[in-house]
Structure 1
Amino acid sequence: MRHTDDKELIRLLRLSDYAAFEELHHRYWLKLHKLAYRKIGDRQDTYDLVQELFIEIWEKRGTLNFGEELPGWLQKRLWFKLSGFFRKRGFNGKHQENFRQYLENQGFDKCFDPAELREVNACYEDLLAAINKTIEEMPNRMREVFILHRRQQHTVDEISDKLNLSPKTVRNQLDRAIARLRRSTEAYDATALEILFIVWLIF
């Protein structure tokens, strides 16, 4: 199974081939665990959440729409699991510290108190999907700038050098990206803190 590509793996999984499921688990478990641990900060909770994700994949193998790109689909599935985790559990000390550091890195540490985000409300999964869709639909350059800044924590000057753009152009792209996110979430009556929380989940 090690040399089986993802599409064939999915085909075999749909046929209830347990060896294909084990290969899927072997191939992606560690990466998903690392992503989830960065948000949760607790190894046992992270382990349980990722295991639940794979159990759901096996139990719903015949009905899930895995899409064209398996790693990206798995990450999106993980984001929904994380959203549900925080909705049920709220924020404890470790979660608040992880989120506080993110806000500080984004320059929002004096604007928001992470304690305000006591519990994720029921609309977060829809909000998460809307934000992710907006990011995917951004023009290529805008999405590249946004991801470099949010996911990889590059500064405006670093992005400017990397992409051969002026700092002003980089800032304009970031401002337009944020404006798109705000427009896409208007129907959910989301606060700025809630939007930042979802972006933190994704990145």
Structure 2
Amino acid sequence: MQNGWDTELIERCRKGDSNAFRQLVDNYQGMVYVFAFRMLCNEEDTKDVVQETFIKVWRNLSKYNTALKFTTWLYKITANCCYDHLRKGRQRKQHVEIDQVKHVCEQMLQSNMEQKIINEDLAAVISQLTHQLTPKQKLVFTLKELEGFEVNEISTITDLSPEKIKSNLYLARKNIREQLEKM
């Protein structure tokens, strides 16, 4: 369920109100952009996926089931767009230099910064390491570890069974752990 304001906007959009759709885009564009950027790590590709996502939302709003949270449905569309983008290989390859990641880790270990800064740096390193995951592993890992979704909601977003999600999550974590150990 979404709040009453979203419900009203969605109903107005379904009736063809482009101003209501503009408001819906304004409300959720940031969320879609952040998630897409985490998946694609490329600004141009992210902008393309955000635009593609909202085009699909506009075209399919009549099919939206109001029993599902709007944000979950929006994440599902965004995830599918990102996944398709990754699978089709349209994303420019992002090469993570192991030496560069190693340098960041060494700096983290040598300094006496506050724990928060260390955690932020480690999160940045892990985010960089996700580039080497398969598209499905990256999608599941991003939704669980970076976006904070539970397995049942990831299942709704991705149409993967909880077992497939757990398997892909296990492989993603294992891959990242192995890369960190090499450093």
TM bin, normalised by shorter chain, reads 0.5 to 0.7
CA deviation digits over 1:125-154, x for unaligned, max 9? xx96xx9897127xxxxxxxxxxxxxxxxx
Amino acid aligned to 1:57? V
CA distance in 1, matches of 2:38, 2:68: 26
What residue is the counterpart of 1:79 in the other structure? Answer: 79
Which stretches in structure 1 are left out of the alignment for 5+ residues? 138-180, 198-203
CA deviation digits over 1:147-171, x for unaligned, max 9? xxxxxxxxxxxxxxxxxxxxxxxxx
CA distance in 2, matches of 1:24, 1:183: 31
Q: Secondary structure at the match of 2:61?
A: coil
The 1:7–1:82 alpha-carbon spacing in structure 2 relative to 1, beyond 3 Å, is: same
Amino acid aligned to 1:46? T
Deviation larger for 81-90 or 60-69: 60-69
- Deviation (angstroms), 1:47: 0.6
Does the CA contact (< 8 Å) of 1:41 and 1:95 recur in 2? Answer: no
CA deviation digits over 1:38-67, x for unaligned, max 9? 221211111110001101111222223354
In the alignment, is residue 41 of structure 1 matched against residue 49 of structure 2? no
Does the CA contact (< 8 Å) of 1:40 and 1:46 recur in 2? Answer: yes
Q: Secondary structure at the match of 1:65?
A: coil
The 1:33–1:27 alpha-carbon spacing in structure 2 relative to 1, beyond 3 Å, is: same
What residue is the counterpart of 2:31 in the other structure? Answer: 31
What residue is the counterpart of 1:148 in the other structure? Answer: none
The number of residue pairs the alignment matches comes to 135
- Deviation (angstroms), 1:91: 6.2
CA deviation digits over 1:55-100, x for unaligned, max 9? 1111222223354422232123211221111111166443767xx9
What residue is the counterpart of 1:193 in the other structure? Answer: 171
**One of 168, 184, 196 as aligned partner of 2:163:** 184
Does the CA contact (< 8 Å) of 1:49 and 1:81 recur in 2? Answer: yes
Q: CA RMSD in A?
A: 4.3
**One of 135, 147, 160 as aligned partner of 2:151:** 135
What residue is the counterpart of 1:89 in the other structure? Answer: 89
What residue is the counterpart of 1:150 in the other structure? Answer: none
Which stretches in structure 2 are left out of the alignment for 5+ residues? 102-121, 154-159, 176-183
Q: Percent identity?
A: 25
The 1:67–1:44 alpha-carbon spacing in structure 2 relative to 1, beyond 3 Å, is: farther
| Higher relative helix content | 2
Structure 2 length-normalised TM: 0.54
In the alignment, is residue 9 of structure 1 matched against residue 9 of structure 2? yes
The 1:54–1:83 alpha-carbon spacing in structure 2 relative to 1, beyond 3 Å, is: same
CA distance in 2, matches of 1:83, 1:95: 19
